[in-house]
A = this chain, B = another copy of it.
Amino acid sequence: MEHTLKRLATMQRLQVAGLELFYQNGYHSTSVDDILKKLDLSKGAFYYHFKSKEEFFISIIQNLIVQKVYSALVQPIEGKEDPFSIIESSLDASLETAEHNFFDNGFALSNFLSETKGKDPEVNTYLNDILKIWEVALITSLQKGKSDGYVARHVDSDGVAAYVISAYIGIRLQMASGNAKNLRYKFIQQLRTYFRSLAPQPIH
């Protein structure tokens, strides 16, 4: 019982440290030893809890990344009305933590996606699943918004979702290379313009 607790604690420490290093230096450029050195642990400890580096990475994706994306991008929009303003504020909040917390891991997702593209198809699948979850939440929200009169009927919800996701991935990637604050401001401004054009137009 207590054993189990200790086990989980150690696993968690490894995962958190692993995510941080993977995010900073990339999955392939981070060695298992790098992670262990950071925590003053040994090879034995690592391979006692995880059976390979890849399985370890997948466990990080499923435990930490899923949760971060869900709590930052999915949950805030679920069931809410007025999709455009709620999506906008969830993205803005997410970008804000990214802006201030340099190693925030908030959207390590896009980095990992590009890194595991050709190689590691299994890992890539898990990452894409997370994107899918977000996409579905966006589409659902937009569809509901049509019934509630917040979104124009002619709007292609799938298209809007794909576009929002693309733009967000792109901005996060650019923010990683500096001048985050400025980019965030521009991004939100343009997103707002774009959304405004998708709202039902007043009759005139």
User: A residues engaging B (CB < 8 A)?
Assistant: 24-26, 28-29, 110-111, 113-115, 117-119, 124, 128, 131, 156, 158-160, 162-163, 165-171, 173-174, 176-178, 183, 186-187, 189-191, 193-194, 196-198, 204
Contacts and interface: CB of A to CB of B under 8 A. Distances in A.
Given A26-B28, A186-B156, A169 B163 contact: no
Contacts of A198: 193
A115 B160 CA distance: 28
7 contacts: A28-B28, A29-B119, A128-B177, A163-B167, A166-B169, A166-B187, A173-B173
A195 to B, nearest CB: 9
B166 A170 contact: yes
Contacts of A194: 163, 190, 193-194, 197
A26 B173 contact: no
B124 A177 contact: yes
B176 A162 contact: no
B117 A111 contact: yes
Given A186-B156, A186-B158, A113 B177 contact: yes
Given A111-B117, A166-B174, A169-B173, 18 more contacts: A110-B170, A113-B176, A114-B114, A114-B173, A117-B177, A128-B178, A131-B174, A156-B190, A159-B190, A162-B183, A162-B187, A163-B190, A165-B170, A166-B167, A168-B170, A173-B173, A194-B194, A197-B197
Contacts of A183: 162
B29 A190 contact: no
A119 B25 contact: yes
A118 to B, nearest CB: 5
